[in-house]
Chain A
Amino acid sequence: KAGVTQTPRYLIKTRGQQVTLSCSPISGHRSVSWYQQTPGQGLQFLFEYFSETQRNKGNFPGRFSGRQFSNSRSEMNVSTLELGDSALYLCASSLGFGKFSYEQYFGPGTRLTVT
């Protein structure tokens, strides 16, 4: 089974710009979660999508948004980028239902640098 893929792997943007990150989950997984990881804050939960609906949301401003498509692929968008948005953005897929539905399978991440 192919793992979780994320594109692009690296991205450099300027303050004020917007960015869209993409994630393809493991086949059969219906839940996709997004995380922001920084050295100081650790792994911070952004949101989770299940069957095209946002099921959970973390404490991030409205500049961070996401969506999920009918094939479970997901995108995350950040508008009006700030320097503090520089981080590793991780996507994780999970079954989303049943026992151990919450076990996360992560992609390699997208390293976003905002200058």
Chain B
Amino acid sequence: TQLLEQSPQFLSIQEGENLTVYCNSSSVFSSLQWYRQEPGEGPVLLVTVVTGGEVKKLKRLTFQFGDARKDSSLHITAAQPGDTGLYLCAGYNRKLIWGLGTSLAVNP
């Protein structure tokens, strides 16, 4: 059974702090996606990474795909209250495997 573990499960920080969330698996994925979900809404796709070692930046968000394509990380610099939400990763290997998510709260 393919599993994606996300850590930490919950994170509460102050505005301006940096943070990193992780997505780990023992399985190899051909690509991995990150989504953000705000309360009462559906998840929104942030990025897809496909190459081992790939790094993608989206403003203050930096996404990295592990060299072996088994893990990924999301780093947020100078977090803002608007970053609050549930961050989900999903690995693709003939089907999508979803992590349980990291719930992030950024306090002003």
Binding site for B on A (CB under 8 A): 4, 42-43, 45, 56, 90, 92, 100, 102-109
Residues of A within 8 A of B44 (CB): 106
Contact A43 B88 (CB under 8 A): yes
- Nearest CB of B to A94, in Å: 10
* Chain B contact patch, size range: 10 to 19
Binding site for A on B (CB under 8 A): 31, 33, 35, 40-45, 48, 88, 90, 92, 95-96, 98-101
Residues of A within 8 A of B92 (CB): 102
Cα–Cα distance between A23 and B64 once the two chains are bound (Å): 33
CB closest residue in chain A, given B4 = A42
- Nearest CB of A to B86, in Å: 9
Cα–Cα distance between A90 and B90 once the two chains are bound (Å): 15
Contact B43 A106 (CB under 8 A): yes
Residues of B within 8 A of A104 (CB): 33, 35, 43, 45, 90, 96
Cα–Cα distance between A104 and B32 once the two chains are bound (Å): 12
- Nearest CB of B to A38, in Å: 11
